[in-house]
Structure 1
């Protein structure tokens, strides 16, 4: 049965008129006449069976139904444009839709993509941040980079690197090296996605775990890094995510004990996509980059 869908030109005319609240400005944007826009809108209103605009003395104004429809149509048109650009990109290479934890993307992955000419010219890696597991069937993602339990249903996990976080802080707060007992007396920045990080770190060091670990609670490594740089406390952060701060002296390592090392970054790929050429190329490149990091000794443990 034929679907009841307005044509794309009509939806584009409506979206532009709704965004500008003006048929005249929509016509100018789309290089049409005002009359053409009026006919498109009238056709759409007839099609959906409800008025989308109030015709007022000095122009037009969206009805409630029109405003709701405009929000939906704008998202749909944006999605069609993204999908069209993605399929066009396949003419020169592949596209990988990647969900990734944010600090890893900005501090480690993006700089390496920029430095890798072969990947930059043959692959387009689109990224959206996700900090928690999700179901691939409910998204358009081809893969995810995640630190935590890699056992996602219906997926294959590829090990990249251990987190191996170290305690770091600003020189304005404390100067290292410090023993574990002294660190326990300092304000300890907490990470909401790793609520037991400090407890695990103290326990693995074989020392008494402080009963009260007072400190600001933050979600992302980038937030912890900034808070630690500003002297708000000590943070547990993987060194490869804060190379700039360590090199500049804005942060320094208080103790080289890196904890139990249970948590690691993995590339998570749905089983149905493990053989996609673009994803295979990206996966092999990513694993090489992670191996180079480990061999270079940047993840201090």
Structure 2
């Protein structure tokens, strides 16, 4: 049956072998030199081999002792590293944040690494859902939601202007001269935002010529944007969510008309009936600062 030698003796051996001094090891372990010597003897008796050559004023490792020291050192180093990693994780604060899938994928996740790099003690647990938020019943610290800024039981921090604009690939744009040409194009919709095309077409005074319900519908705006990138038609986009694709030229905006949805935009929500934690305050300030740095 496999068994381990006495672990206290292993610890004493590792220090004595590293220092080559029983006296120094005794000081490090806060015990007497005699206690260290007894631990070494116990280990040698357990293993059945001598580990040290004892001289008048010095000790050295035997061949078996050197081999065993290398193995013990490797194991002890692994144990120290594993312990350090575990303690670091247990000291981290977990922050539970909910967002929409498209917002998370196209805006938040690409930037979240910078938050973690600057705040190593905070772990953001990000989930995606369309469901309404109820801080009284749910174990979450914050949520990013689209609305008018008025939520019962929540503090609301406005994040960005919600600007609607049609986008498409450069190849698709070549066949478009004016808004009326949209009647011959495929309109790409999101189930979560069924009225965006109607809103934009009405503002562009093209609602009587272009059927806002025609085209293809996807589960999320992220899917509609992906279809637009593949040249499948026009998506009605929230501009800040496609800003990187517009800057790179992967998507273009053939029309000048932009619809500002005003107060109906994205907000960070936090519970109104409980004090804001230090980690949530850190995340809130970081999030607001990110939007201040970007054009909207």
Q: TM-score per shorter chain, which class?
A: 0.5 to 0.7
Could you say which residue in structure 2 is the equivalent of 1:143? 142
Which residue number corresponds to residue 264 of structure 1? 265
**Cross-structure match for 2:217:** 217
Distance in 1, Cα, partners of 2:184 & 2:161 = 27
1:169 touches 1:234 (CA, 8 Å); kept in 2? yes
What secondary structure, in the 3-state scheme, does the structure 1 residue paired with 2:259 have?
coil
**Pair 1:185–1:176, CA change in 2 (3 A):** closer
Deviation at 1:117, TM superposition (A): 5.9
Matched, 1:239 2:235: no
* CA deviation profile, 1:93-120 (whole Å, cap 9, x unmatched): x321001111211221122221346644
TM-score relative to the length of structure 1? 0.62
Cα distance in 1 between the residues matched to 2:166 and 2:242: 12
1:277 and 2:278 correspond: yes
Name the residue aligned to 1:7: none
Q: Is the 8 A contact 2:91 2:121 kept in 1?
A: no
Q: Partner of 1:126: helix, strand, or coil?
A: strand
Quick one: distance in 1 between partners of 2:175 and 2:270?
41
Work out whether 1:169 is the aligned partner of 2:174. no
Partner of 1:108: 107
CA contact (8 A) 2:161 2:260 kept: no
Change (3 A) 1:182 1:254: same
Give the Å deviation of 1:268: 0.9
**Unmatched runs of 5 consecutive residues or more in structure 1:** 1-84
Equivalent residue number for residue 156 of structure 1 = 155
Equivalents in 1 of 2:161, 2:208: separation in Å? 23
1:183 match: 182
Q: Return closer, same or farther for 1:218/1:87 CA change in 2, 3 Å cut-off.
A: farther
Match of 1:249 in 2: 249
Q: Name the SS for the 1:246 alignment partner.
A: helix
Structure 1 position 216, deviation (Å) = 0.6
**CA contact under 8 A between 1:161 and 1:264: conserved in structure 2?**
yes
Report what 1:23 is aligned to: none
Q: Is the 8 A contact 1:168 1:234 kept in 2?
A: yes
Q: What is the Cα deviation at residue 225 of structure 1?
A: 0.9
> Are the equivalent residues in 2 in contact too, given 1:176–1:254 (CA < 8 A)?
no
CA distance change for structure 1 residues 154 and 129 in 2, over 3 Å: closer, same or farther? same
Secondary structure of the 2:172 match is coil
CA distance in 1, matches of 2:162, 2:131: 16
CA drift of 1:280 comes to: 0.9
**Number of matched pairs:** 210
Q: Matched residue of 1:290: which SS?
A: helix
d(CA) in 2 for partners of 1:254, 1:274: 47
- Is 1:201 aligned with 2:232? no
